[in-house]
Structure 1
Amino acid sequence: MTRLAAFVIVCAAIIAGTTVATAQSFYEDFASGGAPLGRRSQFGFFGSSSGSGPVARTNVSFPGNFAPGTIVVNTAERRLYFVTGNGQAIRYGIGVGRDGFRWGGVHRVTAKKEWPEWTPPAQMLRRRPDLPRHMKGGEDNPLGARAMYLGSTLYRIHGSNEPETIGQAVSSGCFRMVNDDVIDLYNRVSVGATVIVKN
């Protein structure tokens, strides 16, 4: 057998194994809105948008009459801004709602939770009866490392076990972040903070 033939066989085996493993893990949930549950990114569980790339966390100029501590979500940009004051904000990359699940309005952060548990709402279970009825917090939970709850809605700003989906319109209305970023935001945000969602 030639070296080229051996190389082709090895590559085919790797691709086939990856495809099977990926197919087995494709199971959707409310928070991911279609992203597979429980897979790890090639960057590891936590992932990071803090280094480089289109969703890198960064300090930016942010003019406007917003009180420090306000969160402004720009759905079209797929960016979240935490206002620090003096015309400045911290910009984070986020995943947003897919078609039919985007929304706008003003709410307040009503609760904050570390490694939140997840219970799919009834309407999601009607659409997806294969989903678990409840998941404890942890690395496989689609809400990720932190969650900030918005008003009395089912919407949250939360982490993700699918960091590669950040910057995409894939959720069921929640705003997802890589875990490194949601932990950073969580440590800055107070319960009662205003959240302005621009759709």
Structure 2
Amino acid sequence: MSLEHVVDDIKDEARARAEEIRADAEEEAEAIIAEAEADAEAIKDERAAEVESQIDQEREQALSSANLKAKQQRLEARRDVLADVREEVEVALVELSGDRRESLTEALIANAATEFDDDATVTVYGRGDDQELIEGILTDYDGFSFGGERDCLGGVIVESDTSRVRVNNTFDSVLDTVWDENLKELSEHLFEQ
């Protein structure tokens, strides 16, 4: 064999080996590319799921926040309505006149009088506009006198220094009690759903 022939054989062998290395490299590159594409697709799907989850979470938070705000606005509107009703009742009590005001004031004084001894010196306070009415009622009670004006819707505050007893029978205190005891029922009536 000639040297040329040996060189050709080495070249052919080198070419075959180079072709084999290139084929292996191409096969390995294709595998790496396929794996990278699969990883990229998995990452893309994962990110899309995360984004969808975040969108759902933000949507849920926005909806929850809107529901809470609407509920707060409804409660505030209800409080406003109840405050308006309370104010209308107070105005009606202030404007109450004639026999109805007199009979209510008499009943409140009579109720308070039961808390004092018969020989007690009792001072009765009331609304300035009711002074004449109160003084007229007090003529039926020994030891009772009008002591002056108090800021109230009507009714009386009755007290005695000797027995250290004080009875608040104002329209305000009666309204507070009735209001507190019946607020739930009133709310249900006003805001039936």
Into which bin does the TM-score normalised by the smaller protein fall? Answer: under 0.3
Greater C-alpha Rg? 2
Relative to its length, the structure with more helix (as a share) is: 2
Indicate the structure whose relative CO is greater, using CA pairs within 8 Å and at least 6 residues apart. Answer: 1
Structure number having the greater strand percentage: 1
TM-score by length of 2: 0.24
